[in-house]
Amino acid sequence: MRAWKLLGLAGILAGVATGAAVARDERVRRHYDAGEIRERLHQRHDEAVARESADGSTAG
């Protein structure tokens, strides 16, 4: 029975740690203004297009 209690406690602690990590990431993310987010999204899109065109050119 004690093992189940420890396992449950470990699960609860893992949930709390995950929640704390998500909250920290959310705080960091909110520090960007709209222009910075737009710029980063455009950059990621350009990288994805470049990767896709590189993959497509070798497949043909």
Report the run of H or E that residue 30 belongs to, with start and end.
Answer: none
Q: How confident is the model at residue 58 (pLDDT cuts 50, 70, 90)?
A: low
Separation CA 60–CA 55 (nearest Å): 9
| pTM (2 d.p.) | 0.44
Residue 21 and residue 23: Cα distance in Å, rounded? Answer: 5
11-53 pLDDT, tens digit per residue, is 999 999 999 999 988 888 888 888 988 999 999 999 999 999 9
pLDDT computed for residue 57 by the predictor: 62
- pLDDT score of 59 more than 70: no
Distance of CA 21 to the CA centre of its chain: 11
Q: Tokens 């050119």 appear where? A: 57
Which pLDDT belongs to residue 56?
A: 74
> Which residues are CB-neighbours of 26 under 8 A, at least 6 positions away?
none
